[in-house]
A and B are shown apart, each in its own frame.
Chain A
């Protein structure tokens, strides 16, 4: 079965650079979530989208922005990168109306800031 696809899998950037992470949800899923997992930490919710509209917002820095496009894929844009942004970034998708299905997670993008 198709899963959530995240790209790239690994990304190395330097301080003050920008980065764009992409997420392709499972077909027919209408909701996308972004999480950030720092080293040795639990995943923290950043932001979510339902039908291309922002549906919830967590502890996402102002330097980050995200959107969901008409084909339901989502992008997380990160600017003025800092060392503390080094983390594993997960995208998850779900079908909002189906409470019997869990959020399905992608394999994550590992972002390293030098």
Chain B
């Protein structure tokens, strides 16, 4: 069975600080997908990034960056120079490939990390 663990329940930082959200996953599959979603106070789930298990390249998108390390089963998310608008709950999620290996199926979410950025 697949499992995602976000050990940090809550993180509080001051604006402009860098912050890293940890994510550790478990799966028996060799083909899987990892995701990060943001859930602002308004409640919607906003897709941030998707990574497949064969792509260990780190990615940077503006102030966001992701570090995928298969050796430690981790997919950590860093926000550089945090802003008040980054305050939200962040979910890491895992999906195993479907039977044909062509795509992914249901998402298993971690417990979420509540990030609060103070002015």
Contact = CB atoms under 8 A, between A and B. Distances in A.
A and B interact physically: yes
Interface centre among B98, B107, B110 (most CB of A within 10 A): B107
A43 B103 contact: no
A62 interface: no
Interface string A40-59: 01111100100000011010
A43 B106 contact: no
Interface in A20-47: 33, 35, 41-45
A108 B50 contact: no
B50 A42 contact: no
A110 interface: yes
B84 interface: no
Contacts of A94: 103
B12 to A, nearest CB: 17
B51 to A, nearest CB: 11
A7 to B, nearest CB: 15
Nearest to B45: A105
Interface residues of B, number: 23
Contacts of B33: 99
Contacts of A58: 106
A107 B106 contact: no
A107 B109 contact: no
B8 to A, nearest CB: 14
Contact of A98 (B35, B47, B103, B110): B103
Interface of A: 33, 35, 41-45, 48, 55-56, 58, 88, 90, 92, 94-99, 102-108, 110
20 contacts: A42-B91, A42-B109, A43-B45, A44-B109, A45-B107, A45-B108, A88-B43, A95-B103, A97-B102, A98-B103, A99-B97, A99-B103, A103-B47, A103-B107, A104-B47, A105-B37, A105-B47, A107-B44, A108-B44, A108-B45
